[in-house]
Amino acid sequence: MNPLNHVAIIMDGNGRWGLKYKNSRNEGHRAGLRTVEKIIRESIKNNIKFLTLFAFSTENWKRPKKEINFLFNLLENFLQNKIDDLYNQNIKLKILGKKNFPKKINKLLYLSEKKTFKNNRLQVNLALNYGSKSELINAFKSIKKNKDKITEKTLSKHLLTKNIPDPDILIRTGNTKRLSNFLLWQIAYTEIFFEKKLWPAFNEADYNKIITNYKKIKRNFGNI
């Protein structure tokens, strides 16, 4: 049985789900947040140590302002209402991505990270304004600035995911088979599961099925 430390998820399909069932993309985002809460709970039950959620990409700024504002309002309300709850569940929150949002949001993100910094049951990495290519470019710049040697180890240390083991599982919901600029370096040996269901429809049973299947896979890492 493969050990399971880190699950990464591309939470895709909110907009399509919202349009189909509520005639509104934004309602899909609201429903998607409920799936986030379910999957956090189920990750704890499964003793998973790191859960990385792709919430907003560097490319998502291309979306209409109304949708972007809705998403950040949702995030703001979520953190304001739930950060104590997350703290009490011994969850550590970490943001992956540059915090260049409105001041109020930046402050809330910093405070949420600070409050949960010492927690150690589950680390939830929220990829927000995250893009793998920009992460890699910044890592190379920082290596150059520090005059470090370029090795796999040093590069990993200059990424936003430093001190986080590579994901064991990557799940993408929403019936699309692409990576959309997510963790390109880190998933070199990750087991990838493409899920047809849209994110708001994804549930605990779907998640556990993937985990069970993952545990049975023969991971070779190049060996035989």
Catalytic positions, written as ranges: 12, 60
* Tokens standing for residue 117: 């910094």
* Tokens standing for residue 135: 């992460």
Whole-angstrom distance, CA of residue 158 vs CA of residue 140 = 8
Binding range to ligand IPE, per CB under 6 A, among 49-57, 90-98, 133-141, 162-170: 49-57
CB atoms within 10 A of CB 190: 18
> From the CB of 15, what's the least distance to ligand IPE, in Å?
3
Binding range to ligand IPE, per CB under 6 A, among 40-48, 56-64, 94-102, 159-167: 56-64
What phi and psi, each to the nearest 5 degrees, are found at residue 55?
-105, -30
The yes or no reply on residue 174 touching ligand IPE (CB under 6 A) is yes
Residue 54 per-residue DSSP state: E
- Size of the residue set binding Mg ion (CB under 5 A): 1
The yes or no reply on residue 56 touching ligand IPE (CB under 6 A) is yes
Between 27 and 158, CB nearer to ligand IPE: 27
Among 4, 10, 11, 12, binds Mg ion (CB under 5 A): 12
Cα 159 to Cα 55, 112, 166, 206, 211: the distances in Å are 18, 21, 12, 31, 27
Between 15 and 167, CB nearer to Mg ion: 15
The yes or no reply on residue 54 touching ligand IPE (CB under 6 A) is yes
Residue 202 in 3-state DSSP?
A: coil
What phi and psi, each to the nearest 5 degrees, are found at residue 206?
-60, -40
Among 5, 60, 106, 134, binds ligand IPE (CB under 6 A): 60
Label residue 178 left, alpha or beta by phi (over 0 means left) and psi (-120 to 50 means alpha).
beta
Within residues 69-98, the interface with ligand IPE by CB under 6 A covers 71
Residue with tokens 């990424």: 159
Residue 62 per-residue DSSP state: G
The yes or no reply on residue 55 touching ligand IPE (CB under 6 A) is yes
The yes or no reply on residue 2 touching ligand IPE (CB under 6 A) is no
> From the CB of 65, what's the least distance to Mg ion, in Å?
17
Beta bridge partner(s), residue 57: 130
**Where on the chain is the footprint of ligand IPE (CB under 6 A)?**
10-16, 54-57, 60, 71, 174, 178, 180
Binding site for Mg ion (CB under 5 A): 12
